[in-house]
Amino acid sequence: MQDINGLIHKIKHGLDTQVSIARLRRNRTLAEAATGRTVLITGASSGIGRVAAAQLGAAGATVLLVARRADELEQAVADIEAAGGRAAAYPCDLNDFDALDAMTATVLADHGHVDILVNNAGRSIRRPLDQSYDRFHDYERTMRLNYFAAVRLILAFAPGMRDRRDGHIINILSLANLYGGPGYAAYVASKAALDSLSTSLQAETHTENVRFTSIYLPLVRTPMIAPNAVYQNADALTAEEGGQIICDAIIDRPRRLAPVMGRVTALIDSVLPERADSIRSARFRRGM
């Protein structure tokens, strides 16, 4: 457990360092980046999505909150409005594509366009290969929410961004996309698909002022990690820290936002894949 805590602490510190350097260099505030903008955040009823929504609402954005739990969304909207912000709730199960398409149509009818899309909703499944032989549906359901739902949202809102030559699509990924996630193969693969899609679409929209940002988050203390006993006492970002990183991405519009350690590990993986595989294997067998 101490090894896990130490690794996550180093990763967290590396991300903090990168964000802190960006803050020193930036020449605008969150209010300047957000005022008058329409921002849609999925997974906004709790955790980092809700924190980011609150900060953006306070900064002058019109925040559209999407999640399954209508009661929690309405409370989040009420909190934002009580603080003087503008927000609206769009309850939707993103696994239901008919409901998702109806929601995006309603959003466009209500607001005309979305300036910033934050694909934050996600499903994580921890199940090693030897427990997955008869569970193909685990891979289907992670892809459905983590990848295909995000793709449908991008396809719904990207046309308006391209027409206006102004837009930002932020995808919340996992640090495991850089250093590997044994035991979480279905989850990591679904996030990797979204990352690869963004790389290709960024090339297509590079000259149109449409930015794709990939955020490779380390462990965050949210209900998603609660079922895994290994992480109960592990060092992790708070929801407030994770939400602030989303806001930092909106201010700075980086192509990628990741801890230095994750970037170094990805480089090692590309140069010495066998060595990286052995490190991942050892970590997996220790129960991480």
* pLDDT score at 186: 94
Overall residue count recorded for the chain in this entry: 288
For 125, which DSSP code? -
Please report, for the domain that includes residue 270, its CATH number. Answer: 3.40.50.720
213 φψ region: left (φ > 0), alpha (ψ -120 to 50), beta (else): beta
For 69, which DSSP code? -
**What whole-number distance in Å separates Cα of residue 118 and Cα of residue 175?**
17
* pLDDT score at 279: 66
* pLDDT score at 58: 98
For the chain (288 residues), the mean pLDDT of every run of 10, in chain order, is 45 55 70 97 96 98 97 98 98 98 98 98 84 89 97 98 98 89 88 97 98 92 57 72 96 92 67 65 61
Which residues 6+ apart lie within 8 Å of 179 measured at CB?
261, 262, 265, 266, 269, 276, 280
Residue span of the structural domain in which 195 resides: 2-285
* pLDDT score at 12: 53
Q: With contact defined as beta carbons under 8 Å apart, do 123 and 145 qualify?
A: yes
* pLDDT score at 81: 98
* pLDDT score at 196: 97
* pLDDT score at 217: 92
Which residues 6+ apart lie within 8 Å of 69 measured at CB?
45, 46, 91
Name the domain count of the chain: 1
DSSP 130-180: GG-TT-HHHHHHHIIIIIIIHHHHHHHHHHHHHHHT-EEEEEEEETHHHH-
* pLDDT score at 184: 85
Long-range contact set of residues 49-53: C-beta below 8 Å, sequence gap at least 24: 49/118, 49/120, 49/121, 49/243, 49/246, 50/76, 50/239, 50/243, 51/239, 51/240, 51/242, 51/243, 51/244, 52/118, 52/120, 52/242, 52/243, 52/244, 52/246, 52/247, 53/80, 53/87
Tokens 């505030």, located at residue: 29
* pLDDT score at 5: 47
Quick one: tokens of 111? Answer: 């607001």
pTM for the predicted model, two decimal places: 0.84
* pLDDT score at 75: 98
* Terminal alpha carbon distance of the chain: 8
Q: What are the residue numbers of the active site?
A: 187
